[in-house]
Structure 1
Amino acid sequence: MMIKKAFLTLILFAGFLSVSFSQECDTLIESKDTSDVHFYRHNVDSLALGRLHSYRMHISGVQNYDQIFRVTPFFASLGNPGLLYKDLLFNPIHPNGFNFGIRSFDAYLFTKENTEYYQLKDPFSELIYILGPKKEQMLGAKFHTRISPRISLGADFRYIFAPGRYQRQKSDNKSLAISGQYFTKSRRYGVIASYLFNKVYVYENGGLAADSLFENNTGSDRNVIPVGLYSAENQIREISFVANQFFNIQKQHKKLNDSTYVRRNIHAGRITHTFSYAKQTQEYMDSDPAAGFYDNIYKDSVLTLDSVYHFQIVNKLMWSNLGYLDSTERKPFYIYGAVRHEYHELGGYDERKYFNQIIPSAGIYWLIRQTYMISGMAEFVTGDYNGGDFRAKARFAYIPGKIEKKYGRIELGFDLANQKPGWFYQHYSANNFFWDNDFKRMGMSVFSLYYKRQRLKAGIEYQQLSHYVALNPEAIPHQADGGINVFKAVVYKDFRFSIIGIDTKVAYQTASNKDFIALPQILADLAAFVTVPLFKGATIIQPGFRVYYNTSYYADAYMPALRSFYVQSDKEIGNFIYADVFFNFRIKRARMFFKYSHINALWGPYNYYMVPSYPMMDAGFRFGLSWKFFD
C-alpha cells in the first residue's frame, strides 16, 4: 500500500509540475529522418487548411502497440488484444445524425474519419509485426505511392490474432483501407476516395465463473479456469466507400508566367461534395443459450443468432471560402455552410426501419493578428427518429507572443448538444434481451479550459448532463430523472532532460451520480527512459519502464450479447499498479522493441482487473518490429 501511495504521489507531482515547467529542455537525442512523410485525414479541406500530420521515426512509445492507444490513453479491456474495450475518459457527446449506439469496437476499425491520405514525392511503405505469448500476433502493412504527378494510391492493412490465456478468449480482426487521390494541374478540382473493409471476430467467455480461482492463483494454467460461456462469439463486419471532391469556383489567377501564381484577395470559394456508403452487420451467436448465463430466453433455447445490420448513404454539399493557396496562416478568416442528406436502413432483429434526415450546418474560424482565435460550428437534424437534435461548439484561444509553437495556446471551449439516445437504447429485440423505450433527448453541455503547447496539454472540463441513458445492473437501459455533473482534469506532459525522458499522463474525474456513470477518480500513466545514440546516430537504444495506475471503483461490467458495458455495484476493482519494462531501439529505418509486459504479475497479488471477472494479461514477453521503406 505504501508503494502505491508513493508512486501516485510521485506521478501527480510530476504531472502538476509540468504546468509551470517553462524551459523545454528538449535535447533528446533522436535522429531526425529527412524522409519524414505527411498525411491528412477525413477530407480535402484538411489538406487545404494545412492540417497535416507527420509520420515520424521516433522510437519513444513504439512499445505501445495496441490500436486502442490511437484513440485514448486510458481504457479498460477484456484482457486480450483485439477484444472490445471501454474508454475511461468520459466524453458524452457523439456526432449528430442517426446513431445506432454500440461503439465498443471503434478503435479497431478503419473509418472515413481516420483514413490517412499521404502527400508524397517517393513511394512509402511500412511493415509492422508484433509477436507475443500464446501465439499472439499482430501484422500491419502500409503502401502509398504517386503513380503520376496528379494521382496517388495507397493501402493500409491491419491484422490481430490473439488466442488468449483463458478459455474462449480469442480475437481475430482484419481491417483494410484502399485510398486514392487525384488533383488537376491547377488544383482547381480534386477528389479523394477510399474503400474500407473491417471484420472483428471474437470469442466470448462471459468472464470467469469463479474469480477466486484466479485471485488465489489456483494453478498456473489459466486455460483450465471455468468461464461463463463456452460457445458464444461476436462478429462485426463492415464495408464502406467514401468520395470527397472539391471544385474552386474561380480560375487560378496567373502572374507573369505560367508557373507562378498569386492569391486573390477575394475569392468566390469552393464547392465540396462528399458521398459515403456503409453497411455494418453485428452478430452474436451462442449454440448453448440455455447453459444458465442469461436470465431470459425470448426466442430460441437451442441456438442464439442475434443479427442487426445498419445501411447508410450520405451526401453532403458544402461551400467554403477556401481558395488555391490557402492555409490557416494565409486564410485567417474561414467560413463554411453545408447541408447533408442521410438515408439509413436498419434491420435484422426486428422489422426493417427506414430513416431520412437533412442536416444543415455552418462554421467559422477567425485568427486575429496571430494572437486570438475564434471558431465555432452548429448543426441541426431534421427528419426521422432524431429530428430536432442539435449540436454546437465554440472555441476562443489566446496565443501568447503570436508564436504558438513556442508559447502554446490557452483555449476556452463550450459544447452544447441535445440528442436522442442511440437506437439500440430505445429499441432492441434479441434472444436474451428485449425492450421498447421512449426516452427523452439527452441534454449535454461541456465547459472546458486548456493550455496546449509542444509536449504539454493541461486543462479542465465541467460537464452537465440531463436525462442521461446507461445500462443498469441488469444490462437494461434506464434514464436519469435529474441532472448529472461530471468534472474532469488532465495533465499530459513529456519531460526531456538531455538523454532522459519522462512521459506523464494524469487524469482526475468525478461524477455526481454513480448509478449511471462509474469512473476511476484518478488515472495515471508514467513512462521513464533514456535514449542513447550509437555508431554516429545509425543506431539508437532506449531502455525504460512504464507504470499505470487507477484508483479503485465499481467498474462497469461487460455483457457479451449486447457488446456493451453496464453499471454494477458488486465488485470494486483497481488500486493496482501495472508495470512494464522495455528496450526500444532503432537501426536506420527499422524500429524494434523487446517488452516484458506486466512484470509485477510474477509475484502478485492476483487482483488485476480492468473489467470485473476479466483478468488482465499475465506477465509476458513481446517483440515488435516496424520497418519503413522509401522506394
Structure 2
Amino acid sequence: MNKLVTTLLFLYVLSALNAQQNEKIMSIKSKNGQNQHQDSLNVDANKKENKKDKELKANIKDYLIISQNRDTTYVDTSLTIQKEYKFNYLRKDNFGLLRFSNLGQTYNSLTYNFENTSLMPDFGARAKHFNYTQISDVNYFRVPTPLTELFFKTAFEQGQLADSFFTINTSPQLNFSVEYKGLRSLGKYQNILASTGNFTFTTNYQTKNKKYNLRGHITMQDFLNQENGGIIDDNIDEFENGDPEFLDRSIFEVNFENAESFLKGKRFHLEHDYKLINKADSLAQNKLSFAHIMSFEDKFYQFDQTSADTDYFGESFVSRVQERATLENFYNQLQLNYSNNLLGDVQFNVSHNNYNYGYNKLIVLNGTTITNRLKGNIYAAGAKYNKQYKGFNLNGEAGVNFAGDFDGNFIKAQASFKIKSDISASASLNHSSQVPNYNTLLHQSDYINYNWQNNFSNIQTQQLSFNAKYKKLANLTVDYSTITNYVYFKKDETSQQVSPFQNSATITYLRAKLENEITVGKFSLNNTIMYQNVQDTNNSLNVPELNTRNTLYFSSHLFKKALYLQTGLTVNYFTKYYLNAYNPLLAEFYVQNETQYGDFPLVDFFLNAKIRQARIFFKTEHFNSSFTGYNYYSAPNYPYRDFIIRFGVVWNFFM
C-alpha cells in the first residue's frame, strides 16, 4: 500500500509540472465574474515583473468539492467550532457516537436514523464500518491549481493518525485526486492495538462540449484491531473505585490476549453519462441524457484466535479459531434522465446486483449441513424526480426489486421551502422494506453456538421527518419512525451466546434534535440537544432519553490579525440507559437489559489557532475523569477514555 501511494504521488508531481507548461491552462473566475486565463493576469504590461509575479492567485471559491449527489462546495480553510467537532479519527461530527478507549476502535451508537433507500442487505460486522469509506463518502474535485491537505493528530501510545490528500487538474476537463489516511495506536489497555488504512483515488473528466462526463474512484481499506473482550468482571470494582494501583490501565486483566479482527475491502466505481440534448443545443429548454453506473466491491471480515476461549464464546470445533466471511458484489445501473423547465428533472433506471456472500467451508451441526454461501442476482427498477419552483424544492425517489431472491422496495419524498436566505424548512417521508444484513441470515463459526441460517422477514420502516432552520439561532429536526420486524443481536437464553433475533412487534421511535449558537461579543455558546423516546415491548432498541453537547468558547484575532484563536470548554452528557454490549467475534453490538450506564459528564478543554492556511488544535480530553467518578464506559466491560492531552494540525497548500 505504501509503495502504491508513493508511486501515485510521484506521478502526480510529474503531472503538476507538466500542467504548468501546458498552454491550455484552466480558466478561473475573476472578481467581476468574467473568465480569465491563468496566463492573463490583469497587470500593467509595461511593468517588469518576474515569473512569480505573473502567476495568477486563484480565488478560494474556485477550488470545488463535488459530492456523490453532485452538490458543490469549495475548500474552506476557516477555523470554526464545526472544524473542532470534525477534528477526529472519522473527520466528521461524531455527536451521537460514544468512542472506545483507543483510537481506531469502534463506536457505540447513542442514536439511530432509520431513513433508508437501499434495496440490498448490508455485509454485517457493522461495528467495523464506522471508518469505512462508502460510495456516498467519496468527493470529486475541480481546482485551478494543485491542492494539498495534510492532517495529523496524536494517538494513544506508540502511534499517530495522519491523512494526506492531493488533487490536480491537468486541464480544465480532467482532475485526479489521491488520499491516504493511516493510523497506528497501541492503546492504554492490554491487547487493544489498532492499525488502519484508507486509500482513495478519484478522477473526473468532461469533454470540451460538456456532452460526456465521467467520474470514478478506487478505494482500498484495511482495519486491524486486537480484541481483548474488555476487562474481566473481577476488575470492575478496582476500576470504579479509582484504585491508584490500577491507574496504569495496562495492569487490568482482560478477557483474552490472543485475538484480533480484520476488515478489508476494495472497490472500483465508475459512472458516466452522455447528453443527447443539452443547453448548448437549439432546444435549450430540454435536456436528455443516458447514464451508466458500474461498481464492484470485494470485502471480507476475519476473526483469529490462537486458542479457542470456550469460557467466553462457548464450545468450539477446533482449538485454533480462524474464520472469514466474504462478500463480492457487482452492480450495474442504466439511467435515462430528462429535464424540462416546466416539468423538472426526471430519471428512470434499471439495475442489476450480482452478490456472493459466505464462507469457504461446510459445517454440519446436529446432522444438518449449514449452507456456506448466499449468491444470486437481483434486478431492480427505480425513478427519481426533482423540481424547483420559486422558493420550493420537491424531491422524490423510489425503487423496487422485481426479480431475484431478495424482495425490497423504498419510496422517499421531500419538500423544502426557503422563506428567506436565512430561514428554511423541509419535510420528508420515507418507507423502506429491506432484507436484514447478510450475517443475520447466515453465519458460520468455529464456535458451535455461532452457527445459524435464518429466513427472516424484511425489516419494514416508515419515517416522517421535519426540519426548520433560522441562521445559527435554531436548527430543529424532528423525526418519527415505526419499525416492524426489527432484527437485532442479543444473548440466547439457552446458550448464553449472542445470536440474531427478529422483533415481530412494531417499534415507535421519536427523535427531536435542536442545534443553536448564541454569540455575545467574542464569546459563543454552541448547543446540541437531542431527546429520544422509544416504545418497544421487547426492549430491542435502547437509546438514552437525553443526549447533549454544549460548548462555551472565545474567539478573537491576535497579533494584527496574523493569528485567529478559539478556546473553550465542551461538555458531553447522556442519561442512563441500557447501553449495548460489544461482541468482538461478530464485530456487532448486542442488546443487554441488565445494567444501565451513562449519567457521566465528559469535559474537554480546547485551544485552537489559525495561521494562514494552517489550523492548529490542542485539547485536554476528559480532564474531569479523576474527580467526577470512575463510572464511565463505552460498553459493558469496556471503560471510556481517561484524561489525555492531544494535539494536531490541518494544513492546506495551494497557489
Task: Give the TM interval when normalised to the shorter protein.
Answer: 0.7 to 0.9
> What is residue 381 of structure 2 aligned with on the other side?
360
Question: How big is each residue's C-alpha offset from its partner over 1:282-302, in whole Å with a ceiling of 9 and x where there is no partner?
Answer: 1011112135221232x21x1
Point out the more displaced range, 280-289 or 416-425: 416-425
Are 2:272 and 1:245 aligned? yes
Are 2:85 and 1:66 aligned? no
Are 2:421 and 1:394 aligned? no
Are 2:98 and 1:76 aligned? yes
> What is residue 240 of structure 2 aligned with on the other side?
215
What is the distance in 1 between the residues matched to 2:280 and 2:242? Answer: 74
Question: How big is each residue's C-alpha offset from its partner over 1:46-100, in whole Å with a ceiling of 9 and x where there is no partner?
Answer: 44xxx11333112224444223462642112322211122332212344222422
Are 2:395 and 1:384 aligned? no
Question: How big is each residue's C-alpha offset from its partner over 1:253-272, in whole Å with a ceiling of 9 and x where there is no partner?
Answer: 36xxxxxxx880123x1111
Q: Choose which of 525, 541, 544 in structure 2 pairs with 1:517.
A: 541
Counterpart AA for 1:284: F
> What is residue 647 of structure 2 aligned with on the other side?
623
Counterpart AA for 1:469: V
Are 2:77 and 1:57 aligned? yes
What is the distance in 1 between the residues matched to 2:296 and 2:380? Answer: 17
Structure 1 residue 141 displacement after superposition: 0.6
SS at match of 1:289: coil
Maintained 8 Å contact 2:508/2:535: yes
What is the distance in 1 between the residues matched to 2:133 and 2:182? Answer: 12
Maintained 8 Å contact 2:103/2:156: no
Q: Which runs of 5+ in 2 are unaligned?
A: 1-57, 362-371, 493-497
Structure 1 residue 160 displacement after superposition: 1.6
Are 2:262 and 1:235 aligned? yes
> What is residue 366 of structure 2 aligned with on the other side?
none
Point out the more displaced range, 129-138 or 196-205: 129-138
1:471-550 map, 5 Å: 471-474=489-492, 475-513=498-536, 515-550=539-574
What is the distance in 2 between the residues matched to 1:363 and 1:472? Answer: 38
Are 2:469 and 1:452 aligned? yes
1:160-559 map, 5 Å: 160-210=183-233, 211-218=236-243, 219=245, 220-250=247-277, 253=280, 264-267=284-287, 269-290=288-309, 292-297=311-316, 299-300=317-318, 302-322=319-339, 333-348=344-359, 351-368=372-389, 370-386=390-406, 388-400=407-419, 403=420, 405-408=421-424, 410-432=425-447, 433-455=450-472, 456-474=474-492, 475-513=498-536, 515-559=539-583
What is the distance in 1 between the residues matched to 2:324 and 2:643? Answer: 37
Residues 451 and 263 of structure 1: is their aligned pair in 2 closer, same or farther, counting only changes over 3 Å?
A: farther
Maintained 8 Å contact 1:306/1:349: no
Structure 1 residue 476 displacement after superposition: 1.0
What is the distance in 1 between the residues matched to 2:512 and 2:181? Answer: 34
Maintained 8 Å contact 1:186/1:252: no
Structure 1 residue 453 displacement after superposition: 4.5
Counterpart AA for 1:40: I
What is the distance in 2 between the residues matched to 1:146 and 1:263? Answer: 31
Maintained 8 Å contact 2:60/2:74: no
> What is residue 24 of structure 2 aligned with on the other side?
none
> What is residue 106 of structure 1 aligned with on the other side?
129
> What is residue 39 of structure 1 aligned with on the other side?
65
Structure 1 residue 483 displacement after superposition: 1.0
What is the distance in 1 between the residues matched to 2:576 and 2:379? Answer: 45
What is the distance in 2 between the residues matched to 1:593 and 1:332? Answer: 49
What is the distance in 1 between the residues matched to 2:227 and 2:520? Answer: 46
Residues 383 and 78 of structure 1: is their aligned pair in 2 closer, same or farther, counting only changes over 3 Å?
A: farther
What is the distance in 2 between the residues matched to 1:213 and 1:452? Answer: 47
> What is residue 572 of structure 1 aligned with on the other side?
596
Residues 76 and 331 of structure 1: is their aligned pair in 2 closer, same or farther, counting only changes over 3 Å?
A: farther
Maintained 8 Å contact 1:67/1:107: no
Counterpart AA for 1:276: S
Q: Choose which of 114, 117, 126 in structure 2 pairs with 1:92.
A: 114
What is the distance in 2 between the residues matched to 1:595 and 1:263? Answer: 58
Question: How big is each residue's C-alpha offset from its partner over 1:161-191, in whole Å with a ceiling of 9 and x where there is no partner?
Answer: 1111011111101000011111101111011
Counterpart AA for 1:438: N
Q: Which runs of 5+ in 1 are unaligned?
A: 1-32, 255-261, 324-329
Maintained 8 Å contact 1:202/1:234: yes
SS at match of 1:100: coil
Structure 1 residue 537 displacement after superposition: 2.2
Q: Structure 1 vs Structure 2: percent identity of aligned residues?
A: 20
Maintained 8 Å contact 2:161/2:182: yes
Structure 1 residue 566 displacement after superposition: 0.4
SS at match of 2:191: coil
Point out the more displaced range, 516-525 or 86-95: 86-95
SS at match of 1:600: coil
What is the distance in 2 between the residues matched to 1:486 and 1:506? Answer: 17
Structure 1 residue 511 displacement after superposition: 1.2
SS at match of 1:484: strand
Maintained 8 Å contact 2:195/2:223: yes
Structure 1 residue 590 displacement after superposition: 0.7
Maintained 8 Å contact 2:475/2:515: yes
Counterpart AA for 2:291: T
Structure 1 residue 348 displacement after superposition: 2.0
SS at match of 2:624: helix
Counterpart AA for 2:404: D
Structure 1 residue 349 displacement after superposition: 5.4
SS at match of 2:130: helix
What is the distance in 2 between the residues matched to 1:418 and 1:353? Answer: 19
What is the distance in 2 between the residues matched to 1:437 and 1:574? Answer: 34
Structure 1 residue 344 displacement after superposition: 0.8
Structure 1 residue 347 displacement after superposition: 2.5
Point out the more displaced range, 556-565 or 127-136: 127-136
Counterpart AA for 2:408: D
Maintained 8 Å contact 1:333/1:367: yes
Structure 1 residue 331 displacement after superposition: 8.8
What is the distance in 1 between the residues matched to 2:278 and 2:503? Answer: 56
Count of aligned pairs between the two proteins: 571
> What is residue 495 of structure 2 aligned with on the other side?
none
Structure 1 residue 610 displacement after superposition: 2.4
Question: How big is each residue's C-alpha offset from its partner over 1:584-631, in whole Å with a ceiling of 9 and x where there is no partner?
Answer: 001111100111000001324001112111111110000111110004
Question: How big is each residue's C-alpha offset from its partner over 1:446-465, in whole Å with a ceiling of 9 and x where there is no partner?
Answer: 11111134434212111111
Tell me which of the two structures has the higher relative contact order, counting C-alpha pairs closer than 8 angstroms and 6 or more residues apart: 1
Maintained 8 Å contact 2:121/2:435: no
> What is residue 25 of structure 1 aligned with on the other side?
none
What is the distance in 2 between the residues matched to 1:495 and 1:270? Answer: 47
Runs (4+) of structure 1 exceeding 4 A deviation are none
What is the RMSD computed on CA atoms of the aligned residues? 2.0
What is the distance in 1 between the residues matched to 2:91 and 2:548? Answer: 14
Structure 1 residue 493 displacement after superposition: 1.9
What is the distance in 2 between the residues matched to 1:453 and 1:363? Answer: 29
Counterpart AA for 1:542: Q
